[in-house]
């Protein structure tokens, strides 16, 4: 009984992940095909606009700050979870 549940659960997971992978791959292929269809010169003119440059800089700044905050909190919390014993840890 348990083995059939695991097989069903595993095959469902594989099916869902396959569908999601195909969707993401389709979006990537669609994006690349649009760039190739419009041409690379249009891409460079779009990338040189001040609005797009500002948005890229803002995205990079936000992601760097987010990563640093995650590291500042995750490393000490991970250390505490490994070194200290507390109720519920053995589960």
Alpha carbons 51 and 58: distance in angstroms, whole number:
11
Q: What is the pLDDT along the chain (91 residues), one digit of tens a residue?
A: 556 667 667 888 899 999 999 999 999 999 999 888 888 787 788 888 999 999 999 999 999 999 999 999 999 999 988 888 888 777 6
- What's the pLDDT at 91? 63
44 in a structural domain: no
Burial per residue of 65-76, b for 16 or more beta-carbon CB atoms within 10 angstroms, e otherwise: eeeeeeeeeeee
- What's the pLDDT at 66? 98
Say whether both 32 and 69 belong to one domain.
Answer: no
Cβ proximity of 46 and 52 under 8 Å: yes
Say whether both 55 and 33 belong to one domain.
Answer: no
Say whether both 3 and 24 belong to one domain.
Answer: yes
- What's the pLDDT at 79? 93
Cβ proximity of 61 and 69 under 8 Å: no
State which residues form the domain around 71.
49-91
């Amino acid at each position: 009984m348990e083995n059939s549940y695991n097989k069903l659960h595993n095959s469902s997971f594989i099916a869902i992940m396959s569908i999601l992978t195909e969707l993401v791959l389709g979006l990537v292929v669609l994006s690349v095909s649009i760039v190739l269809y419009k041409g690379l010169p249009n891409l460079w003119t779009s990338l040189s606009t001040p609005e797009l440059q500002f948005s890229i800089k803002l995205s990079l700044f936000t992601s760097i700050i987010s990563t640093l905050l995650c590291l500042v909190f995750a490393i000490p919390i991970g250390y505490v979870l490994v070194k200290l014993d507390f109720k519920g840890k053995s589960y």
